[in-house]
Amino acid sequence: MEGNGSTAESRAELKARGAREARAAHPTREWRGTDVARQIVVAVAVVGALTCGFLGSGSLGGPSIRDAQGGALDADASLLAPGRPAFGIWLVIYAGLIAYAVWQLLPRQRAAERQREIGWWIAATAVLNGLWIVTAVSATLWATLVVIVLLLVTLILTFRRAVLTAHPGSSWLDLLLIDGVTGLHVGWVTLATVANAAALLGSVGAWNTGDEAWAAVVLVSLLFLGLIASGVSGWRVAPPWAMGWGALWIGLARLHGEPASAVVGWTGIAVAITLFLVPLVLRVATALRSGD
């Protein structure tokens, strides 16, 4: 009896998945007012995030994130602070968000089932992204941690939806702008949340430059998180690569900057190499097996 129940359940799951893939591959031609609202909200949210990012850079003469909070969020604030070049990843994430915002405005995407499933979530991540920047330059470190945790949770849920709504018929553009950009975003914010927490702990005296062993343990924990995120998403490489990029610059900053730590430095580099290579190898191996 249990075997028959399991078989029936499996068939139901396969049928439901087939229906989702069919809807995604052949979206309805009828669009609703909420579809237009979603397109507009996504575009406005992305523009808002970009505006906040520009203001947070200090380009207009105001306070920058690097100088805010007494320098607690700068590259030399803690053992787990990435070197400044690491933040260049935001150029890639913002470029991806801009491309997504423009692409989802196209009439063909208006009633696409996948856009309906994920568009509002991406808008929420953009809003929270901008809110974190505003909080960093105008509120407290405690507030920044609360906002970045909310952003991380929202990104995890968004990435999960991206994985669940993907289908074999998805175009490369669809996978790049939804799975790829969201994957980079969630991977980087995972690492940034750790750095934010370390900055807060350092500011209250609960974390200091002598806690090398704990910093190394945190980096190894990030390694496992990155591999898990990649594994449960079909060995997508964007999340672990973003985390690996951050780990690499944590390692380089500890080897060539302050606070210096050979233990944390080499651990960060080892974690980065593993996060770059293992998901890629397993992704290729999975693709080859599927081809067979």
Average pLDDT for the chain: 88
Residue 43 sits at φ, ψ, to 5 deg, of -60, -45
**CA quadruple 258, 261, 266, 267: dihedral sign:** negative
pLDDT for 30: 80
% of the chain exceeding 90 in pLDDT: 68
What tokens does 183 get?
């994957």
pLDDT at 208 (0 to 100): 63
Torsion, CA 252, CA 226, CA 178, CA 251, rounded to 10: 0
More confident residue, 5 or 173: 173
Give the pLDDT band of residue 4 (cuts 50, 70, 90).
low
**Coil vs helix vs strand at 257:** coil
| Rounded average pLDDT over 176-186 | 97
Question: Domain limits of the chain?
Answer: 33-286
Decide which of 110 and 75 is more confident.
110
pLDDT at position 69:
80
If you ran DSSP here, which 8-state letter would residue 279 be given? H
Per-residue pLDDT tens digits for 102-143: 999 999 999 999 999 999 999 999 999 999 999 998 889 999
Distance (Å, whole) CA 175 – CA 17: 18
**pLDDT tens digits for range 197-215:** 998 988 877 766 568 999 9
User: Does position 157 have pLDDT exceeding 90, yes or no?
Assistant: yes
